[in-house]
């Protein structure tokens, strides 16, 4: 039908008509063109003389019977008008049917709403406890080197906690490089010296424990938990906060909120908490005085994250960098003023490489001393 061709020309975004739609339009036009206009029967006028008018030659004459002119003896004019009107109505109707329905744009979420949504997805994940909880992280430290320029040190840290009371941990220094264009240029001008700590810097001690294991499950000052206690922590924010504060003492050097923030960070970053407890811990930390939720921070891999930022002491702040889709912890970062480092850039990053429960017993690297024990 040419009506649909017209739609295609003037409204190219309208989907093409289906064969069924074209057949339906033909049937409706045929019905309109045979004896009815708008549902009413057209009656042929009789016994009336046609109007007389002026012919093209300037003479008055009868207009009856001329093509396209309505007369008392013909319905051709009425029928033409009816067909045109019906076609217009049907074309408008076809356009209304064929136009896709507009979908309202989703409302933009605030950073806190993004965090709550991510925490909800995390809490819904299944959880199975096996023999050992193992976590591997990449530790990045940006500091002033011996040459007076910024150096970025990278290392690999492993910790494993067994349900049978065994623990394992070791750290390997991986690399040390000048950080940033200015530092790289100064390093080159000084002869490109080898930077340490890095692999090969100390062949006698390539692996060593980077944490004290005598208080492996020390959550915060004044409270050392057991593994069953950690696994049984509440999975709702207000209940978790109340449970943690049971272990707070007025003799602590930190005030109540500082102590609570420290406990929550430790649980999220260092402990084998359940997904529900971890999600609740996010909400507790985000609700503390001075804390904020941001969605403009990227993790070390460049992925945009939702981040909980909280003050620690003075001008130092900590960040939990979270996957906005799954709620998984991507990294824990410290932000402190370091000469030469851009304001707001983290100086210490602990990026999660892998964390999971496993039945495989960890094996410390050869030559690693004091890298396993009992808690």
On the question of pLDDT at 258 being above 70, the answer is: yes
Query: Omega of the bond prior to 197 within 30 degrees of 0, cis?
Result: yes
pLDDT digits (tens, 9 = 90+) for 214-233: 888 999 999 999 999 999 99
SS3 assignment, position 161: strand
Question: How far is it, in rounded angstroms, from Cα 215 to Cα 151?
Answer: 31
Question: How far is it, in rounded angstroms, from Cα 61 to Cα 83?
Answer: 29
Chain-centroid distance, C-alpha 112 = 12
Q: What is the pLDDT of residue 252?
A: 76
Q: For strands 292-298 and 304-311, give the pairing.
A: antiparallel
Question: How far is it, in rounded angstroms, from Cα 50 to Cα 63?
Answer: 7
pLDDT digits (tens, 9 = 90+) for 151-195: 999 999 999 999 999 999 999 999 999 999 999 999 999 999 999
Q: Could you tell me the residue ranges of all domains in the chain?
A: 2-98, 111-374
pLDDT digits (tens, 9 = 90+) for 73-130: 444 555 554 555 555 555 555 555 555 566 666 678 999 999 999 999 999 999 999 9
């Amino acid at each position: 039908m040419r009506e649909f061709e017209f739609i295609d020309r003037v409204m190219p975004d309208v989907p093409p008509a289906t064969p069924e739609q074209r057949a339906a339009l033909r049937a409706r036009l045929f019905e309109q063109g045979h004896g009815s206009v708008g549902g009413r029967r057209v009656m042929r006028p009789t016994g009336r003389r046609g109007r007389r008018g002026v012919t093209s030659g300037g003479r008055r004459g009868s207009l009856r019977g001329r093509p396209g002119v309505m007369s008392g003896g013909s319905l051709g004019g009425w029928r033409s008008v009816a067909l045109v009107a019906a076609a217009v109505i049907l074309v408008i109707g076809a356009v209304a049917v064929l136009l896709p329905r507009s979908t309202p744009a989703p409302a933009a979420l605030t950073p806190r709403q993004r965090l709550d949504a991510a925490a909800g997805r995390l809490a819904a994940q299944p959880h199975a406890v096996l023999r050992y909880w193992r976590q591997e992280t990449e530790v990045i430290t940006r500091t002033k080197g011996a040459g007076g320029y910024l150096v970025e040190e990278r290392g690999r840290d492993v910790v494993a906690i067994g349900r049978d009371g065994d623990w394992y941990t070791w750290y390997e220094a991986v690399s040390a490089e000048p950080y940033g264009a200015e530092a790289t240029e100064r390093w080159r001008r000084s002869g490109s010296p080898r930077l340490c700590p890095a692999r090969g810097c100390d062949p006698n001690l390539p692996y060593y424990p980077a944490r004290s294991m005598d208080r492996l499950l020390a959550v915060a000052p004044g409270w050392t938990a057991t593994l069953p206690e950690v696994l049984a922590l509440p999975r709702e924010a207000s209940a978790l906060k109340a449970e943690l504060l049971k272990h707070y003492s007025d003799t602590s050097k930190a005030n109540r909120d500082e102590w609570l923030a420290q406990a929550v960070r430790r649980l999220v970053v260092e402990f084998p908490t359940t997904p529900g407890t971890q999600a609740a811990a996010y909400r507790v930390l985000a609700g503390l005085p001075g804390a904020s939720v941001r969605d403009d921070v990227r993790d070390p891999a460049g992925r945009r994250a939702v981040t909980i930022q909280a003050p620690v002491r003075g001008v130092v702040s900590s960040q939990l960098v979270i996957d906005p889709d799954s709620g998984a912890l991507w990294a824990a970062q410290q932000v402190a003023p370091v000469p030469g480092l851009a304001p707001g850039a983290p100086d210490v990053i602990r990026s999660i490489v892998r964390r999971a429960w496993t039945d495989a017993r960890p094996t410390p690297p050869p030559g690693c001393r004091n890298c396993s024990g009992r808690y």
